[in-house]
Amino acid sequence: MPELPEVETIRRIVARELTGLALRRVDLTLPKLVRDSPLPDLDLLVGRVVRGADRRAKVLVTHWSGGLSVLTHFKLAGQLAVMKPDGRRIVAGHPVPRPDGVYPHKATHLTFQFADGTIVYYSDIRQFGWWRLMATDAVAPALAAFRFGPEGTGGLGLDRDELAGRLQRRRMAVKQVLLDQRVVAGLGNIYVDEALHRARIHPGRAANSIAGEELSALHEAIGWALERGIEQGGAAIRAGKAYPRDGFPAVHGRKDEPCAVCATAIVKMTLGGRGTYVCPVCQPEPVAST
């Protein structure tokens, strides 16, 4: 968190609310936020105009006039809050700071002030996120260096047969494989849990054991989970507890709550160091080989 749906939500906010605005001032209070950056001084953006926003996997790309672009990775706890002159507030990403709270927060490390009065706050309580300023021409090779796999959202590149090939090469748990951004770009902990539950596959199953109808179900479920997240502007998870809308998330963050399919209590386990939520009936444990 934030994962692909949250970052896509932020991209849409930036495109809608900031395109065409000229930057008046930048305040950076955490210098390490701008790291591994070809152009380390964000003040170079002052006076430039936002031209648009793209996304690749969980990386937001904002384009500015004069041939500059910024790559932003929100990592575990990044949040973007846009305050408009008419009083509107649009917040996406991590739930801390409280979207209806006071800004700047103690976790706010970067502030953009635009000429029309719009203010943008970037907050990150874990301080793992990063910003990289570069020439727009450098964006494509910079993204290519991450070696991202195909996008998991419907119609954006995740082919069923390609997914099959990527899973068949790996014996480790299917959840851990799906979290690898080189396998499916943008999938994170929340949406892997949701996809596996919808496909009725236990997260501890060996990736190379998924085939046939199960593979087709998983392929569909990945796109479904990400699209549902995008529709909602990101899953509502606060302090590890889900606040579902229209039954989504169905399992993640819902320990001890009844499964929507079979009413069995959802169980939380740890897999690869990640909190993982499963229905023990809909997603039976793999049988140990003898």
Checking 137-142 for CB contacts under 8 A at 24+ apart, the result is: 137/67, 138/38, 138/69, 139/61, 139/69, 139/71, 142/71
**Angstrom distance (rounded) from CA 63 to CA 72:** 11
**Angstrom distance (rounded) from CA 289 to CA 194:** 27
**Angstrom distance (rounded) from CA 13 to CA 162:** 32
Distances (CA, A) of 261 to 95, 200, 208, 283: 28, 10, 26, 11
Residues annotated as part of the active site: 2-3, 58, 274
Please say whether the beta carbons of 266 and 256 come within 8 A.
yes
**Angstrom distance (rounded) from CA 168 to CA 185:** 18
CA atoms within 13 A on the CB side of 16: 9
| Residue whose C-alpha is closest to residue 103's, from 158, 113, 216 | 113
- B/e letters for 67-78, b = 16+ CB within 10 Å, e = fewer, are ebbbbbbbbebb
Q: At what angle do helices 212-231 and 160-168 cross, to 10 degrees?
A: 110
